[in-house]
Chains A and B, each alone.
Chain A
Amino acid sequence: MKTVAISLLGTVLDQRGRGKKRWDKWRPTISLCQQEDLLIDRMELVFQPHFQRLADLVTEDIQRVSPETEVRHHHVEFEDPWDFEEVYGSLHDFSRQYGFDRDKEEYLIHITTGTHVAQICLYLLTEANYLPGRLVQTSPANRDNVDAGSYQIIDLDLSKYDQIASRFSREHSEGTIYLKGGIETKNKEFNRVIAQLEKISINSEDPILLTGPTGAGKSQLAKRIYQLKQTRAQVKGRLVEVNCATLRGDNAMSALFGHKKGAFTGAATQRAGLLLEAHDGILFLDEIGELGIDEQAMLLRAIEDKNFMPFGSDTPVSSNFQLIAGTNRDLFDDSRSGKFREDLLARINLWTYRLPSLKERIEDLEVNLDYELERFAQKAGSLVSFNKAARSRYMKFAHSSEATWRANFRDLNASITRLATLSDGGRITQAAVDDEIMRLKHDWSAKSQEMNPKAITAKFLDDETHTKLDLFDHIQLTGIAKVCKSAKSMAEAGRILFDQSREQKKSVNDSHRLKQLLAKYGLDFSIFK
């Protein structure tokens, strides 16, 4: 690779007379050729024809201080070196006729000489890639001595500068992301769901049911619906969110519907309950399938009649809320097996939308990645971005079959949070991405191991038995093992496992039956303890 410098002849700075004294003065074009760690193989000296004498002297001097450098002359025609149009035009012409060979040569555009107008033109031409190189600036030595001075190379590829890159992404987010009010998703199915949801949330106050795998973004969507209604002034109240899996026993009732003071032990004060808190607003019940049967009945009444009884109270309370329910279970299955009330399901299964998994809308991963970065930036107060190579490596993995995205957007969020937190000066590097990919792979394989019956039975079966058994046996044994582990005794485990057939038997010996069953696989109950 040859290094070629393109420099305007400095009609002031390179002009230091013809006497010996000129050697004691800093002359930028010559000093560029005097750097011990920069070898200019060729110097393209650009000047107006009437400066030929100066150009010849500078050429001669360059060849003395730097015999390795070849100097070539180029004439440019501009009458007034302060006339922007004229200077830009002639430098543009120069760049078009030059014939750059970027495979064999790299170019440095020297911007220390020439008028400020010429410097601006060189900058513009370099930035626009007409001059395909990097800018170089020379400066005199610090003290008034005979040193050759120094130089700095400036690469206009802004992506190489962390600070500037961060600045860009901030402006970007302020513009497009805010105006579009969210993430610009590409997946057709998802976009169709959203489009319809927007209409419905404006026109209807009926319940909405959101289904889809965990982490698909159900609660995010509930929030968006609420915000949308808010901007249209359709809700006055709050958005109240609760995950039904966290509601258990007496607490569930009182949390949802409130209680009167003294309704039960520990009910020292009155409690309003979530339904009342959501008055004139939205109640988002996530994992509604986890709600107990009694609560389901109360909820149905609250939806239909707009009123309900707080726990331990005789007087009904009224609350006008819109219900959004979320679930990752099949509620129809649940209603068939009696775990979910059919009438409640019928009531909430009016506007049902299934949110695709991340894997099903993988084309939206990239925009969501930017969204996550932006979110992190807002939280952390500092901007984070990938460097180009790191980003493409991450995207490649994200699209690969290895990436299962088991917990969907929750996994993506966690992954980006980790990368952003560990980033160095706001830049996510290739090394960090490699570590993160390892981590994700490990997490996903660990989780699949947890769910894999063969992996579970491998813990207690001997190798020979393990390989002989059908998947059917492994699945069955996994369930048996789970019951055995949680039961206090072999008899209790037997009672649970044979809960139906034991009713028909005249004499029951549950522990004996279990013992025999386990013995078939060469197992003993004690290994589960």
Chain B
Amino acid sequence: MLVVDGSQGEGGGQILRTSLTMAMVTGTEIRIENIRAGRVKPGLMRQHLACVKAAQAVSNAKVSGAEVGSTEIVFKPKAIKAGEYHFAVGTAGSTTLIFQTVLPALALAEAESRLSFEGGTHNFFAPSFDFIALVYAPLLRQMGVEIELKMTRHGFYPQGGGQWQAVIKPAGRLSGLDLLDAGVLIGKEAVVTSANIPGHVAVRELAEIAKQCKWPEEVLKSERVESMGSGNIVSMRLHHECCSEVVEYVGKVGVSAEKVARRAIQAIRRYQAAAVPVGEHLADQLMLPMAIGGGGVFRTLKPSLHSQTNRDVIHLFTDKRFEFEGLAKDLWEIRI
């Protein structure tokens, strides 16, 4: 049985999720130890448990240690089973992370799958539904998987309760990805999404973007959405010929609207300055489908500790190993 040390590198939930996905796709039995050893509350939190349970359902796996607080699990997957699944997670736990855990497996299954999700959709420390829809899914489509996504309700921290659906039509085999250049910029927008908060928040956030970035009025959008609790997120989006990038920052009580906007501006400026196609978070997310598919190469910002850890964990399951090559301070090439 393959043993994965959950305390290596960034020592967080990503090691768990990457291991689950790789185990399902390669049919490897694994034991993950020291889960989230580096965190204040170590072990499985509810959102991680939800990922384990989702992976278990999809691969009909035999699992032990799947409890809140558990620091070790054994996961023995069987054949991937396409079908209809409903995944729900409390505490506004991220549903997009569950989606990314099971997607590569279902993308290689024999038949179409229909997934419905319930929980958090716009969280800290996780891609938002918008990011999945605008950035991640289009590239996976390029690799051959057909993905349809539909949002019915937003779920913000801490109430969650968001709802969305996905249809995955498998590819048989994931093709390679070649993303050295983003191509010409064909559009941009700044979108503030809010639920149940005073209207001035969105106005101030957009004003800050207009002032700092000199983005024209027509690309600044404010959307009020239906949600159980209150929520606010600033999303700045750049659409290029070959790919899109979305940077986001979640607003919360006690942080001024201007500050929330400035955090998003900071991130988009770093991306623009580096002139690479793939942003920091997307880099992490692309590695898995590339490793199990036809490989490929992309240019991105300086790899984070998350990316390095992800590389090491993926390498446990496959002979192939990602190369990280630094061309300039914030210009790197990642290939496999």
Question: Interface on A for B, CB 8 Å cutoff?
Answer: 1, 20-21, 23-24, 33-39, 61, 64-69, 143-148
Check A39 against B253 for contact (C-beta < 8 Å). no
CB nearest neighbor in B for A1: B67
Choose from A21, A23, A36, A146 the contact partner of B46 (Cβ within 8 Å).
A36
Which of B41, B158, B159 is most buried by chain A, counting CB atoms within 10 A of its CB?
Answer: B158
Choose from B41, B89, B253 the contact partner of A146 (Cβ within 8 Å).
B253
Check B254 against A23 for contact (C-beta < 8 Å). no
Residues on the B chain within 8 Å of A146, using CB: 157-159, 229-230, 252-253
The minimal Cβ–Cβ distance linking B159 to chain A, given in whole angstroms, is 5
Q: In the bound complex, how far is the Cα of B91 from the Cα of A64, in angstroms?
A: 9
Interface residues of B in 128-160 (CB under 8 A from A): 157-160
Name 28 interchain pairs, CB-CB below 8 A, sorted by A.
A20-B230, A23-B229, A23-B230, A24-B196, A24-B229, A24-B230, A34-B90, A34-B92, A34-B158, A34-B159, A36-B46, A36-B91, A37-B46, A39-B46, A39-B68, A64-B159, A64-B160, A64-B161, A65-B160, A65-B161, A66-B90, A67-B89, A67-B118, A67-B119, A68-B46, A143-B253, A145-B253, A146-B229
Check B254 against A143 for contact (C-beta < 8 Å). yes
Q: Does B45 sit within 8 A of A, measured CB to CB? A: yes
Check B93 against A36 for contact (C-beta < 8 Å). yes
Choose from B43, B158, B252 the contact partner of A148 (Cβ within 8 Å).
B158
Q: In the bound complex, how far is the Cα of B67 from the Cα of A39, in angstroms?
A: 9
Residues on the B chain within 8 Å of A38, using CB: 68
Residues on the A chain within 8 Å of B93, using CB: 36
Q: In the bound complex, how far is the Cα of B230 from the Cα of A144, in angstroms?
A: 14
Additional 4 contacts, C-beta under 8 A, given A36-B93, A67-B119: A33-B90, A61-B228, A67-B88, A145-B254
Choose from A1, A20, A24, A66 the contact partner of B91 (Cβ within 8 Å).
A66
CB nearest neighbor in A for B253: A145
The minimal Cβ–Cβ distance linking A440 to chain B, given in whole angstroms, is 37
Residues on the B chain within 8 Å of A61, using CB: 228
The minimal Cβ–Cβ distance linking B206 to chain A, given in whole angstroms, is 22
The minimal Cβ–Cβ distance linking B77 to chain A, given in whole angstroms, is 22
Q: Does B301 sit within 8 A of A, measured CB to CB? A: no
Residues on the A chain within 8 Å of B91, using CB: 34-36, 65-66, 148
Provide the B291-328 mask, 1 if CB < 8 A to any CB of A, else 0: 00000000000000000000000000000000000000
Which of A1, A33, A36, A147 is most buried by chain B, counting CB atoms within 10 A of its CB?
Answer: A36
Check A36 against B45 for contact (C-beta < 8 Å). yes
Provide the B73-90 mask, 1 if CB < 8 A to any CB of A, else 0: 000000000000000111
Supposing A37-B45, A146-B253 touch, asked if A68 and B89 sit within 8 A by C-beta, the answer is yes
Q: In the bound complex, how far is the Cα of B91 from the Cα of A65, in angstroms?
A: 6
CB nearest neighbor in A for B255: A145
Q: Does B47 sit within 8 A of A, measured CB to CB? A: yes
The minimal Cβ–Cβ distance linking A104 to chain B, given in whole angstroms, is 13
Q: In the bound complex, how far is the Cα of B90 from the Cα of A145, in angstroms?
A: 19
Supposing A36-B46, A36-B47, A39-B46 touch, asked if A69 and B90 sit within 8 A by C-beta, the answer is yes
Choose from A20, A21, A37, A143 the contact partner of B68 (Cβ within 8 Å).
A37
Q: Does B65 sit within 8 A of A, measured CB to CB? A: no
Q: In the bound complex, how far is the Cα of B122 from the Cα of A222, in angstroms?
A: 80
The minimal Cβ–Cβ distance linking A412 to chain B, given in whole angstroms, is 41
CB nearest neighbor in B for A66: B90
Q: Does B236 sit within 8 A of A, measured CB to CB? A: no
Residues on the A chain within 8 Å of B92, using CB: 34, 65
CB nearest neighbor in B for A61: B228
Provide the B22-41 mask, 1 if CB < 8 A to any CB of A, else 0: 00000000000000000001
Q: Does B69 sit within 8 A of A, measured CB to CB? A: yes
The minimal Cβ–Cβ distance linking B168 to chain A, given in whole angstroms, is 21
The minimal Cβ–Cβ distance linking A152 to chain B, given in whole angstroms, is 14
CB nearest neighbor in A for B42: A37
The minimal Cβ–Cβ distance linking B171 to chain A, given in whole angstroms, is 30
Residues on the A chain within 8 Å of B90, using CB: 33-34, 39, 65-69
Q: Does B54 sit within 8 A of A, measured CB to CB? A: no
The minimal Cβ–Cβ distance linking B57 to chain A, given in whole angstroms, is 14
Residues on the B chain within 8 Å of A64, using CB: 159-161, 228
Q: In the bound complex, how far is the Cα of B65 from the Cα of A1, in angstroms?
A: 11
CB nearest neighbor in A for B41: A37
Q: Does B103 sit within 8 A of A, measured CB to CB? A: no
CB nearest neighbor in A for B118: A67
Q: In the bound complex, how far is the Cα of B253 from the Cα of A143, in angstroms?
A: 9
Residues on the B chain within 8 Å of A1, using CB: 67
Q: Does B102 sit within 8 A of A, measured CB to CB? A: no
Which of B47, B90, B119, B159 is most buried by chain A, counting CB atoms within 10 A of its CB?
Answer: B90
Residues on the B chain within 8 Å of A67, using CB: 88-90, 118-119
CB nearest neighbor in A for B119: A67
Residues on the A chain within 8 Å of B119, using CB: 67
Supposing A146-B229, A148-B91 touch, asked if A37 and B69 sit within 8 A by C-beta, the answer is yes
Q: Does B49 sit within 8 A of A, measured CB to CB? A: yes
The minimal Cβ–Cβ distance linking B166 to chain A, given in whole angstroms, is 17
Q: In the bound complex, how far is the Cα of B68 from the Cα of A69, in angstroms?
A: 14
The minimal Cβ–Cβ distance linking B12 to chain A, given in whole angstroms, is 13
Q: In the bound complex, how far is the Cα of B159 from the Cα of A23, in angstroms?
A: 7
The minimal Cβ–Cβ distance linking B214 to chain A, given in whole angstroms, is 33
CB nearest neighbor in B for A21: B196
Check A65 against B88 for contact (C-beta < 8 Å). no
Choose from B47, B68, B159, B252 the contact partner of A145 (Cβ within 8 Å).
B252
Residues on the B chain within 8 Å of A144, using CB: 253
Residues on the B chain within 8 Å of A24, using CB: 196, 229-230
Which of A33, A64, A143, A145 is most buried by chain B, counting CB atoms within 10 A of its CB?
Answer: A64
Interface residues of B in 227-267 (CB under 8 A from A): 228-230, 252-254
Choose from B41, B88, B159 the contact partner of A36 (Cβ within 8 Å).
B41
The minimal Cβ–Cβ distance linking A124 to chain B, given in whole angstroms, is 29
Q: In the bound complex, how far is the Cα of B93 from the Cα of A396, in angstroms?
A: 50
Residues on the A chain within 8 Å of B157, using CB: 146
The minimal Cβ–Cβ distance linking B65 to chain A, given in whole angstroms, is 12
Q: In the bound complex, how far is the Cα of B36 from the Cα of A36, in angstroms?
A: 14
Q: In the bound complex, how far is the Cα of B92 from the Cα of A65, in angstroms?
A: 7
The minimal Cβ–Cβ distance linking B250 to chain A, given in whole angstroms, is 12
Q: In the bound complex, how far is the Cα of B69 from the Cα of A39, in angstroms?
A: 10
Q: In the bound complex, how far is the Cα of B254 from the Cα of A287, in angstroms?
A: 81
Residues on the A chain within 8 Å of B229, using CB: 23-24, 146
Residues on the A chain within 8 Å of B69, using CB: 37
Residues on the B chain within 8 Å of A66, using CB: 90-91
Residues on the B chain within 8 Å of A69, using CB: 90
Q: In the bound complex, how far is the Cα of B56 from the Cα of A233, in angstroms?
A: 82
